């Protein structure tokens, strides 16, 4: 039993509260202990909240395990301030947004957010010297796989069924045979260590992958561009350019070719990682971004018809209402 006075630091408590609020905690399948009479339970109770596990003294959060618990929404950006975490198990939920930074989680051994709707890139794993597993399969992650160097304890690495592109980094020698998976993704050979990845996956690692590349985009002030996207080799990518109010698209270009039509830049065939660069400018004075043209209502058409009829009878035509 935990000591009656045990309490996690206020900062760790806040991260837990942010996790609850950000992932619709009131709708979790199980949220026992988190709230009392509609408000968060008193400080000192955190280690009794469903899915939260603390150290023996009861003053540091060590594990958050809530797979298949209907978490829906983004993970808190401050997750990496729980520096005593050893296990994060949040698979089979409806998590969205990016995987937050893992920098500083030097005690982390197990990480699983598989089978969610996470987007963005896999964060750097630099400094995670005791990490044994990193499961992020079955999401919508894009971009290259980051370096796996400096992970001397890594045994299993699963990233299949995402939109990752490029070539895998070198495989750590510590990966166990058959415990990892890289495909399907938009990855291609050769990697620095194809034979090692074949062993780690238990088969030819690239089987099931469709070779592809990363198309990213940058923009100057006055607008924004679409997110990075993996593109199958030889195909094109469409990048949407969105001007801020009172701005218009100025120019767009790419090192993989392409052309601009309206607010969409379509690349040429992509056979290497490439970048679309866009710029925006102020709309001409007195010429703001036009609003959609209004379609006359039934009443307006009736008035128009009436005006034409009366005009034919020699009566002054009824003026068409101003739009």
Tokens of 244: 């801020």
Mean pLDDT of the chain, nearest integer:
89
| Residue 242 β-bridge partners | 224
In the numeric block, the tokens 């051994």 are attached to 109
Residue 267 lies in a domain: yes
Domain identity same for 244 and 303:
no
Quick one: pLDDT at residue 286? 66
Tokens of 26: 């009131």
Residue 273 lies in a domain: yes
Judged by DSSP in three states, 76 sits in coil
Judged by DSSP in three states, 300 sits in helix
Quick one: pLDDT at residue 130? 98
Judged by DSSP in three states, 241 sits in strand
Domain identity same for 315 and 261:
no
Work out whether the CA dihedral 91, 167, 105, 153 comes out positive or negative. positive
| Residue 217 β-bridge partners | 276
Quick one: pLDDT at residue 229? 86
Separation between Cα atoms, residue 297 and residue 317, nearest integer Å: 19
Residue 299 lies in a domain: yes
Q: CB neighbours (10 Å) of residue 185?
A: 27
Domain identity same for 302 and 260:
no
Tokens of 310: 């009366």
Quick one: pLDDT at residue 83? 98
Domain identity same for 218 and 277:
yes
The H or E element that residue 199 is part of is helix 194-201
Domain identity same for 245 and 303:
no
Residue 233 lies in a domain: yes
Residue 251 lies in a domain: yes
How many domains does the chain divide into? 2
The H or E element that residue 279 is part of is strand 274-282
Give me the phi and psi of 154, to 5 degrees please: -65, 125
Quick one: pLDDT at residue 288? 54
Separation between Cα atoms, residue 146 and residue 136, nearest integer Å: 13
Residue 247 lies in a domain: yes
Quick one: pLDDT at residue 117? 98
Domain identity same for 257 and 300:
no
Pairing mode, if any, of strands 52-54 and 258-261?
A: unpaired
| Nearest one of 108, 155, 117 to 136, comparing CA atoms | 117
Quick one: pLDDT at residue 90? 98
Residue 252 lies in a domain: yes
Separation between Cα atoms, residue 221 and residue 242, nearest integer Å: 11
Quick one: pLDDT at residue 300? 42
Quick one: pLDDT at residue 173? 97
Separation between Cα atoms, residue 26 and residue 194, nearest integer Å: 46
Separation between Cα atoms, residue 12 and residue 82, nearest integer Å: 6
Give me the phi and psi of 107, to 5 degrees please: -95, 0
Quick one: pLDDT at residue 228? 83
| Nearest one of 165, 134, 166, 162 to 148, comparing CA atoms | 134
Residue 143 lies in a domain: no
- The region, left, alpha or beta by phi > 0 then psi within -120 to 50, assigned to residue 195 is alpha
Domain identity same for 270 and 301:
no
Which residue range is the domain that position 303 belongs to? 294-323
Indicate the pTM of the whole model. Answer: 0.79
Per-residue pLDDT of the chain (323 residues; tens, 9 = 90+): 444 456 899 999 999 999 999 999 999 999 999 999 999 999 999 999 999 999 999 999 999 999 999 999 999 999 999 999 999 999 999 999 999 999 999 999 999 999 999 999 999 999 999 999 999 999 999 989 999 999 999 999 999 999 999 999 999 999 999 999 999 999 999 999 999 999 999 999 999 999 998 899 999 999 999 888 889 999 999 999 999 999 999 999 999 999 999 999 999 999 988 999 999 999 998 655 444 434 444 444 444 444 444 344 443 333 333 33
């Amino acid at each position: 039993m935990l000591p009656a006075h045990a309490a996690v630091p206020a900062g760790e408590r806040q991260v837990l509260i942010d996790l609850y609020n950000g992932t619709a905690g009131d709708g979790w399948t199980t949220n026992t202990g988190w709230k009392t009479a509609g408000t968060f339970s008193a400080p000192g109770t955190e280690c009794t909240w469903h899915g939260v596990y603390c150290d023996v003294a009861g003053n540091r959060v060590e594990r958050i395990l809530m797979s298949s618990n209907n978490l829906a929404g983004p993970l808190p950006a401050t997750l990496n301030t729980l520096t005593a975490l050893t296990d994060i198990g949040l698979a089979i939920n409806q998590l969205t947004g990016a995987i937050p930074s893992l920098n500083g989680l030097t005690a982390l051994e197990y990480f699983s957010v598989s089978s969610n709707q996470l987007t963005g890139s896999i964060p750097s794993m630099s400094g995670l010297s005791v990490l044994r597993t990193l499961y992020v399969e079955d999401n919508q992650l894009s971009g290259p796989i980051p370096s796996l160097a400096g992970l001397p304890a890594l045994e299993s690495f699963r990233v299949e069924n995402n939109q990752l592109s490029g070539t895998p980094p070198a495989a750590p020698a510590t990966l166990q045979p058959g415990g990892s998976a890289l495909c399907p993704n938009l990855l291609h050979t050769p990697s620095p260590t194809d034979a090692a990845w074949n062993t780690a996956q238990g088969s030819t690692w690239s089987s099931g992958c469709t070779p592809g590349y990363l198309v990213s985009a940058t923009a100057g002030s006055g607008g924004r561009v679409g997110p990075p996207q993996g593109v199958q080799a030889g195909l094109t990518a469409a990048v949407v350019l969105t001007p801020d109010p009172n701005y218009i698209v100025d120019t767009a270009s790419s090192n993989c070719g392409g052309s601009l039509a309206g607010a969409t830049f379509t690349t040429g065939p992509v056979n290497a990682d490439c970048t679309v660069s866009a710029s925006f400018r102020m709309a001409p004075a007195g010429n703001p971004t036009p609003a959609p043209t209004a379609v006359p209502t039934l009443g307006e058409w009736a008035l128009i018809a009436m005006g034409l009829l009366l005009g034919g009878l020699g009566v002054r035509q009824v003026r068409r209402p101003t739009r």
